[in-house]
Amino acid sequence: MAIIKSNERVGEGIFLLEIEGIFRGKPGQFYMLKVNDEYPLLSRPISIFEITEDTIKFLYQSSGEGTKILSRKSEGDAIYLRGPYGNGFPSVEGKIALVGGGMGAAPLYETGKQLLKKPAITTVDLFLGFSYELVLKDKWEKISSRFFYDIGGYVSNLVPVSNYDVIFSCGPDVMMKKMTEAGKANGVPVYVSIESRMACGIGACLTCTCHTKNGNRKVCKDGPVFLGEDIYEL
């Protein structure tokens, strides 16, 4: 059990949750969050947005029953969380593009922050797409070399794929497939972070099984990050 430090509404139905404590985790990993001992029964997988010295943050959208209940929690309330789980984004070098759509933007914040610290990384360009409004603009600018965004369109159209050595992407499936196709056409590897319903987070329940070209894999344990070409039929 941990204590909520803040649960700030940062956009229409979008919240930034900050929890007190010392936590660990790699960019692209996630935690399982649960607001109480009763309803809803299952925990919710939410990607790490940011880890600081004494807090962990999660950016989420209030959509289902679990996240709606979570959105009503405030400073001082208790919350249950387990993690970190999954495999995050791989170690890379050179010029990197981060491409996110909707709440797929969430895991890219800690990713960009950590990439900028590495001498082997020369560029971290961030491309985000939102349906209605841009949130946390000042924060995104701090963890990227250049920041581009689109409202209501297709952010993937803004990405000059051939300019990069590697692309990390998270968001709608159609967007990640398009980025994977563009990456293959330009000889650029694209890693995608898959979203899936899951119950346990440790690979025991098989709820999050997905099909890859190497057979069925568990999103929570083998992912959520996969090479795009392993996921999509191109």
The rounded mean pLDDT for the chain is 92
Give mean pLDDT, residues 158-185: 97
State whether residue 162 is helix, strand or coil. Answer: helix
> Residue 199 — pLDDT band, cuts 50, 70, 90?
low
Which of 162, 179, 164 lies closest to 227 in space, CA to CA? 179
Domain coordinates in residue numbering, the chain: 2-85, 94-231
What confidence tens digit (pLDDT) does each residue in 53-71 have?
A: 999 999 999 988 888 889 9
> Residue 161 — pLDDT band, cuts 50, 70, 90?
very high
2-85 under CATH 2.40.30.10, yes or no: yes
Taking the C-alpha atoms of residue 4 and residue 81, their distance in angstroms, rounded to an integer, is 11
Query: The tokens 């979203």 sit on which residue?
Result: 195
What confidence tens digit (pLDDT) does each residue in 99-134 have?
A: 999 999 999 999 999 999 999 999 999 999 999 899
> Residue 198 — pLDDT band, cuts 50, 70, 90?
low
Taking the C-alpha atoms of residue 154 and residue 125, their distance in angstroms, rounded to an integer, is 17
Query: CATH topology of 2-85 equal to that of 94-231?
Result: no
Give mean pLDDT, residues 37-53: 81
Taking the C-alpha atoms of residue 208 and residue 222, their distance in angstroms, rounded to an integer, is 10
Number of Cβ within a 10 Å radius of residue 138: 6
94-231 under CATH 3.40.50.80, yes or no: yes
Taking the C-alpha atoms of residue 160 and residue 144, their distance in angstroms, rounded to an integer, is 16
